[in-house]
Structure 1
Amino acid sequence: LVLRQVPLRGSDGEITGYVDLVSERAYRYRPGQPSDLMPLPDNFWEQERATRAGLVEKLADFDDTLLEQLLEEVEPPKEEIYKHLTRTLKGAQVVPVFLGSGQADFGIRRLWKALRHEAPAPEETAERLGIAPQGEPLAQVFKTYHLPHTGKLSLVRVWRGAISEGMVLSGTRVAGVLRLVGAQQEKVPAAQSGEVVGLTRMEEIATGTILTPSGKAAPLPQPERPQPVYGLAITSERRQDDVKLTGAIGKLIEEDPTLELEQNADTQEMVLWGQGDIHLQIAIDRLRTRHNLAVNGRRAAVPYKETIRRGAQQHSRFKRQSGGHGQFADVTIEVKPLPRGSGFTFTDSVVGGAIPRNYIPAVEEGVIEALRHGPMGFPVIDAAVNLITGQFHTVDSSDQAFKTAGRQAVQEALPKCEPILLEPIDSVEISVPNAFTARVQRLVSGRRGQILGYDAKPDWPGWDVVSAHLPQSELHDLIVELRSLTMGVGSFAHQFDHMQELSGRPAEKVLASRTADAAQ
């Protein structure tokens, strides 16, 4: 990225215009009208000469002749700089940054002029992407909308040939071709190479799909989708809307692939993930305004677990008589802790037919059911249960009786095994400009994190990647504070790493919150 313009500010600090670093001219913004040419402010180049030099030096990275001119302290003509900007933009080497405000109509005409004179033609971009000039029509879906009256609208860039109404692309018939200008839609019979149009009723076509009549096309480069960093557990205010909610969220994700829906099996929550609090609030507002779904969003629960520190044996008998056949089952089990990350194992050492083999799977079912809610209210992991022996009755014993006995035995044994709370720990990589690295390290430490180190970010000059282990409970609003510390540019990626024992005041808070939730 190279800065193409420098803002000019008024007496109150508001932006009133800009200076073009190539033409070296200053312009004053006028709402709704072209900008006025104005004299350069006094001493402007004393402050911004280095900024213009940085633009030219960046262009010289891709041209030896320009580099030689700079080394010889020869000022290149402005026309040459324009040519270098056009060539490097065409090759996706340099992207110029312009200033403006769409709401106030500031800088828009200058951006249009740059797109007309400096941006590559569609044929040139197609060549860079490896699209052959000859062949069947080819288009790429880059955006999807679900509109109240039009239905599904797929925005496409036509890379080759012509796309017309009634054509079948990748197995789906094109119901209509629309040219879009803001909110206005104009129906047209066909779209030619280079055009951006909307195709209606392409129900089976997803964002990013390459469309051809044959349905066969080599994949084109796709922008890397950023990992979601902020999640909210969402529920519909009206129970009858539960079925509609999943379908409506699916349409939102089609429109915005940076959203992601997770059905969390541990917490039994539907979690909507996005790029931040405002991002998700916009999504929730669209559910309300477009789909008439009133939705509540709250902080997603953390999938805590529990385990045991010592083993124990437990005998349990289930006996019930209520007329006719009764219920009878007698089991003795041994519970032992396993190394972290081992999960759960069930074995039996029953001998002599103390328990018939056909009842042992029922005991295992009861054990698994009991481990879903340990003494602290969370699933129990990293434990082994061995069925040692038991008794049965030829008439009154049944699968259900042995399942109940197995569940009772585990529920009675676990409190004797020194249960301990476990919290999930994520591996986190935080990317920030190196001027903010020290602040980020303090941020991680303040959230009970363990800093593993930091290193330069590959291919990102001036950026660092801070590696750390952070509790999942501390990740909820991490992106909010991180962006606040780094002027909005910091980001992070994370993935589950391991479970870790939690004790002391943090564990007490988790258990108190669990008790309060259970009481509601």
Structure 2
Amino acid sequence: MGDTTNTGTTPHGSRPGRTGSAPRMIALVGPAGTGKTTLAEALLHASGAINRQGSVEAGTSVGDASPEARARRGSTELNLCRLEYLGDTFVLADAPGSTGFAVDADLALQMADMAIVVVDPVADRAALAGPILRRLDELELPHAIFVNRMDGARAGSVREILSALQPLSREPLMLRQFPIRQGEEITGFVDVALERAWRYRPGQPSEPIPMPEDVGLREKGERQQLLETLADFDDALMEALLMDEEPDPATILADLAVDTATNRVVPVLFGSALTGGGMRRLLKLLRHEAPDPHAAAARLGLDDEPALAVFKVTTGGAMGRLALGRVFGAALREGTELAGTRVGSLFRMQGDKTNKTADADAGDVVAVAKLEQARPGTILGRSGLLAELTPAIPARNTALAIATRDRRDDVKLSAALHRLCEEDPALAWEQDGDSHETLLRGINDEHLAVVLARLKRRYGVEVTSSPPRVAYRETIRKEAGARGRHKKQSGGHGQFGDAVIEIRPLSRGEGFAFEDRITGGAIPRQWIPAVEAGARDAMMKGPLGFPVVDVAVTLLDGSFHSVDSSELAFRTAGRMAMAEALEKASPCLLEPVFRVSVDMPAGTGAKAGSALSARRGQILGLDQHPEWERWERVEALLPEAALHGLDAELRALSQGLASFTATFDHMTELAGKHADDAIRMQAKAA
């Protein structure tokens, strides 16, 4: 596929909705594997920003420059690059498509002027863009759709692709081009708005040709649909159509610009990023129809005050800590005061390269040094913190227990995790109070694998990782009683405590209850709380090796010594009595069960149900998604032990798009082989 020449749109100064040539920020979004980074590379090449188009596969692209992205041949973080085209400046924000890394670009998306949704040229795969289209609708962000790889053997009809996508979009999709085919090969295209045909010339701009006879009728039909869509927002155009008058071309182009910039319509274009086909046509759409930065500023509630909207913080490069953000209101210069701090050096990003600049105009995207108070989502102005944005973070369903290979790295690990979490809002870590493990939580296994790779590469900290310990608990099946008698004499005052207790099971979730039935002063009142404390001590680790829950304790009798009794003695007696009673009360293991809700593209829900059943899941239902077209939802109850690795299995069944949420539901008794395995693992860990 080749490319297009000048489309004859209105002059630069008369573009509706445009007030100048301020830099504009364009987000490239779409499902994983649709070629977004290749598209960014092709746009850079078509605009002359780079001399030679690099390759993601060969590891020579401007984006995806990190070792982790190179190793996976796919984006693992947001990539920024800039280009100029016919006097206009654009900053491309290439967003990762994989669910595990999508959060990295969500804040940048909120600050962008326009998004290009990159989809595959096959209807069922194009429909995988549904979640992204929903997010753009939530943000009310102007966007267009680019159907990539239209020169491939799998490419389908653009109308079929539109039919698959329209139910997923709140705004009407509007076909701006359709292909000219010779057999299975696409040899050119028709520009619907301009009523012109073009022939592709590989490696060269496309050339205009007379409208082929066999596409003339289709051109009239496609153009009529485009005009009717625009007429929904233009009464004068509607009147012209009703009167069978030919609309003024300038009116059509003006409506296209305004309706696209105000998110009334979604233009659909196609091409091939790999061969460069359609790049100049896409650049012209951005040039004429992407709104100015003032529209993004208005969405964010900003006025003319100089401000920096920070969408990312990086700490691992040679430049140290950098806050990546977009400038609004007025130019930002080195030394400008923001939130009580003078900003340091300013840099423009081109992939992983930084180019120092003295200032940045409103609309530009820069990396700022020495702005320690900047956090992802903060909007900083001269008067302080103006606003704070929140990214859309999926459930953190995957966790790993990590430990340093060298104990001397423990302090370094804590500092490194703090920095990584500052960079990545989707990442979290904690010290588990029960297991005393360091838990790293993320979106999925792919996400955490990249984090561990960064941990080693950037900070020199190597860790071992394993699934977190499941929060098993013990309880009892029947009543039992026991006496705890603690007597110790070792010269001077001794220790004496004596307590008789009875225990019984409680209902699930009731926890612990203690009742005092002491009469006649068998145990003085001041020592009774110590018996209760001793019983609680014994419940921290029951006969099977796990914490004990849902047990009621009744203190029935006991005795004391006027000299040797003490709080410690009765606490010890209470612990001894409780430990013996638990052994007698038929202890059993409880495992946590989670309620899992899986969202998957239509047609894959049954596979998800089978996968959950194989993991000891109880399927509660499989239905159409309550809000999303062409999606299904599976509800199930699943043991916590079966959650590990679930995300990877579901992604493999759903072209990488399945997601799930898991919330604790209840504890249930566990017996047989699974209980034996859990007890054996606990004994080994102890």
Q: TM-score range by the shorter chain?
A: 0.7 to 0.9
Cα–Cα, structure 1 residues 76 and 437, in superposed 2: closer, same or farther, change >3 Å? Answer: farther
Partner of 2:319: 150
Q: Which of 428, 431, 455 lines up with 1:260 in the alignment?
A: 428
Partner of 1:215: 384
Cα–Cα, structure 1 residues 370 and 58, in superposed 2: closer, same or farther, change >3 Å? Answer: farther
Counterparts of 1:219 and 1:237 in 2: how far apart (Å)? 38
Deviation at 1:273, TM superposition (A): 1.4
Deviation at 1:251, TM superposition (A): 0.8
Partner of 2:563: 395
Structure 2 contact 149–272 (Cα < 8 Å) conserved: no
Counterparts of 1:29 and 1:267 in 2: how far apart (Å)? 65
Counterparts of 1:38 and 1:307 in 2: how far apart (Å)? 80
Partner of 1:493: 661
Deviation at 1:296, TM superposition (A): 1.4
What SS does structure 2 have at the residue aligned with 1:296?
Answer: strand
Partner of 2:328: 159
Matched, 1:24 2:178: yes
Counterparts of 1:483 and 1:164 in 2: how far apart (Å)? 45
Residues 476-512 of structure 1 show CA distances to partners (whole Å, capped at 9, x for unaligned) of: 1111111111111111112112111112232222223
Superposed, which structure 2 residues align to 1:99-498 within 5 Å?
A: 112-132=283-303, 134=304, 136-220=305-389, 222-498=390-666
Residues 32-85 of structure 1 show CA distances to partners (whole Å, capped at 9, x for unaligned) of: x7787899xxxx99xx99xx99x97997897598999999xx999999998777
Deviation at 1:374, TM superposition (A): 0.9
Deviation at 1:412, TM superposition (A): 0.6
Structure 1 contact 56–81 (Cα < 8 Å) conserved: no
AA paired with 1:143?
K
Residues 12-43 of structure 1 show CA distances to partners (whole Å, capped at 9, x for unaligned) of: x899xxx996333549898xx7787899xxxx
TM-score, with length taken from structure 2: 0.65
Partner of 1:5: 147
Q: Which moved more, 1:420-429 or 1:458-467?
A: 458-467
Note the residue ranges of structure 1 that are not aligned, 5 or more in a row.
Answer: none
Residues 183-225 of structure 1 show CA distances to partners (whole Å, capped at 9, x for unaligned) of: 33233333221111111122232210111111252455x4311
Structure 1 contact 315–409 (Cα < 8 Å) conserved: yes
Cα–Cα, structure 1 residues 318 and 63, in superposed 2: closer, same or farther, change >3 Å? Answer: same
Structure 2 contact 404–464 (Cα < 8 Å) conserved: yes
Counterparts of 1:507 and 1:82 in 2: how far apart (Å)? 70
Superposed, which structure 2 residues align to 1:4-83 within 5 Å?
A: 4-8=146-150, 22-25=176-179, 26=188
Deviation at 1:3, TM superposition (A): 4.6
Q: Which moved more, 1:208-217 or 1:455-464?
A: 455-464
AA paired with 1:228?
R
Counterparts of 2:228 and 2:395 in 1: how far apart (Å)? 30
Cα–Cα, structure 1 residues 84 and 297, in superposed 2: closer, same or farther, change >3 Å? Answer: farther
What SS does structure 1 have at the residue aligned with 2:177?
Answer: coil
Matched, 1:503 2:671: yes
AA paired with 1:214?
S
AA paired with 1:316?
G
Deviation at 1:268, TM superposition (A): 1.8
Structure 1 contact 363–407 (Cα < 8 Å) conserved: yes
AA paired with 1:163?
L
What SS does structure 2 have at the residue aligned with 1:24?
Answer: strand
Deviation at 1:279, TM superposition (A): 1.4
Q: Which moved more, 1:113-122 or 1:209-218?
A: 113-122
Counterparts of 1:511 and 1:471 in 2: how far apart (Å)? 16
AA paired with 1:418?
S
Counterparts of 1:513 and 1:229 in 2: how far apart (Å)? 23
What SS does structure 1 have at the residue aligned with 2:573?
Answer: helix
AA paired with 2:149?
P
What SS does structure 2 have at the residue aligned with 1:422?
Answer: strand
In the alignment of these two chains, the number of paired residues is 501
Deviation at 1:144, TM superposition (A): 0.6
Structure 1 contact 428–470 (Cα < 8 Å) conserved: yes
Structure 1 contact 59–85 (Cα < 8 Å) conserved: no
Counterparts of 1:479 and 1:98 in 2: how far apart (Å)? 34
Cα–Cα, structure 1 residues 422 and 120, in superposed 2: closer, same or farther, change >3 Å? Answer: same
Structure 1 contact 4–22 (Cα < 8 Å) conserved: no
Residues 208-247 of structure 1 show CA distances to partners (whole Å, capped at 9, x for unaligned) of: 0111111252455x43111112111111111111122122
What SS does structure 2 have at the residue aligned with 1:7?
Answer: coil
Counterparts of 2:290 and 2:494 in 1: how far apart (Å)? 84
Higher relative contact order at CA 8 Å, sep ≥6: structure 1 or structure 2? 2
Counterparts of 1:60 and 1:368 in 2: how far apart (Å)? 72
Cα–Cα, structure 1 residues 237 and 378, in superposed 2: closer, same or farther, change >3 Å? Answer: same
Structure 1 contact 306–422 (Cα < 8 Å) conserved: yes
AA paired with 1:514?
Q
Counterparts of 2:265 and 2:512 in 1: how far apart (Å)? 54
Deviation at 1:282, TM superposition (A): 1.0
AA paired with 2:667?
M
Partner of 2:680: 512
Deviation at 1:298, TM superposition (A): 1.2
Cα–Cα, structure 1 residues 416 and 462, in superposed 2: closer, same or farther, change >3 Å? Answer: same
Counterparts of 1:334 and 1:393 in 2: how far apart (Å)? 22
Counterparts of 1:112 and 1:345 in 2: how far apart (Å)? 70
What SS does structure 1 have at the residue aligned with 2:619?
Answer: strand
What SS does structure 2 have at the residue aligned with 1:217?
Answer: strand
Deviation at 1:275, TM superposition (A): 2.1
Structure 1 contact 331–391 (Cα < 8 Å) conserved: yes
Cα–Cα, structure 1 residues 61 and 238, in superposed 2: closer, same or farther, change >3 Å? Answer: farther
The two structures, once aligned, show a CA RMSD in angstroms of 3.9
What SS does structure 2 have at the residue aligned with 1:365?
Answer: helix
Deviation at 1:89, TM superposition (A): 4.8
Counterparts of 1:253 and 1:487 in 2: how far apart (Å)? 28
AA paired with 1:350?
I
